[in-house]
Structure 1
Amino acid sequence: MPYARVSDPAFIERLRGAGLTTAEILYRMPDHPALLQTFSWQFEDTAPNYPRLRRFLDYWEREIEAKIHSVRVMHSRLIKPQEIHCLAEIGYLN
């Protein structure tokens, strides 16, 4: 019976662009509208659409009284081409 390899679904998602995402949400509470507060959240999401972040922001708009002022998103793919830098060159004589 031949052996079939099945890739890990999380690995496949990383190949499709999933990576470590940090969202910094600035918001105002209704009882203190002059204060700008911050909420930071780090999670895995897929660029460039960020479906997990969008679901969270939709939830926030529906369920949380605080009004979002702005959202800053930072993303780093977990699997990407690696850079190789030559730090030194050593010559050998034959």
Structure 2
Amino acid sequence: MIISRSPLSRQLQDYRLTTAEILYHMPDHPGLLQTYVWQELDLAPRFPVLRKFLDFWSHNLDGKLHSVRVANLDLISPGHMRHVDALMTLQ
């Protein structure tokens, strides 16, 4: 089985645009917090891509993680139709 990695095919496999706001302690000044914004297509609710990134961060980077706030959004969704009570004539 060939798994395509194009963004459209991943979205069709239920990947969602995921944004994480990561607060971490600055390595030289642990009392100060810095913000990093991460964004990628990921699978909710387990977020394997984000977990892999955070695992890499905690093992390879000096800034200790403080907190992570996550939001996600379906990019492909069913369309909706609504009826409008108006009649227009074009000339």
Q: Same fold (TM over 0.5)?
A: yes
Correspondence for 1:41 among 35, 38, 42: 38
Query: Which runs of no fewer than 5 residues in structure 1 stay unpaired?
Result: 1-7
More strand by share: 1
Tell me the distance in 1 between the aligned counterparts of 2:12 and 2:46.
15
Aligned to 2:75: 78
Tell me the distance in 2 between the aligned counterparts of 1:71 and 1:79.
25
Q: Percent of aligned positions with the same letter in both sequences?
A: 47
Displacement of 1:58 in angstroms is 0.4
Displacement of 1:12 in angstroms is 4.7
Aligned to 1:27: 24
Tell me the distance in 2 between the aligned counterparts of 1:36 and 1:63.
18
Once structures 1 and 2 are overlaid, which stretch shifts more, 69-78 or 8-17?
Answer: 8-17
Correspondence for 2:10 among 5, 13, 22: 13
Which of structures 1 and 2 has the bigger CA Rg?
1
Correspondence for 2:64 among 63, 67, 77: 67
CA deviation profile, 1:35-64 (whole Å, cap 9, x unmatched): 111000111111111111111000001000
Query: Which runs of no fewer than 5 residues in structure 2 stay unpaired?
Result: none
Question: Aligned with 1:81: secondary structure?
Answer: coil
Tell me the distance in 1 between the aligned counterparts of 2:27 and 2:64.
8
Question: Aligned with 1:34: secondary structure?
Answer: coil
Query: CA RMSD of the aligned region, Å?
Result: 2.0
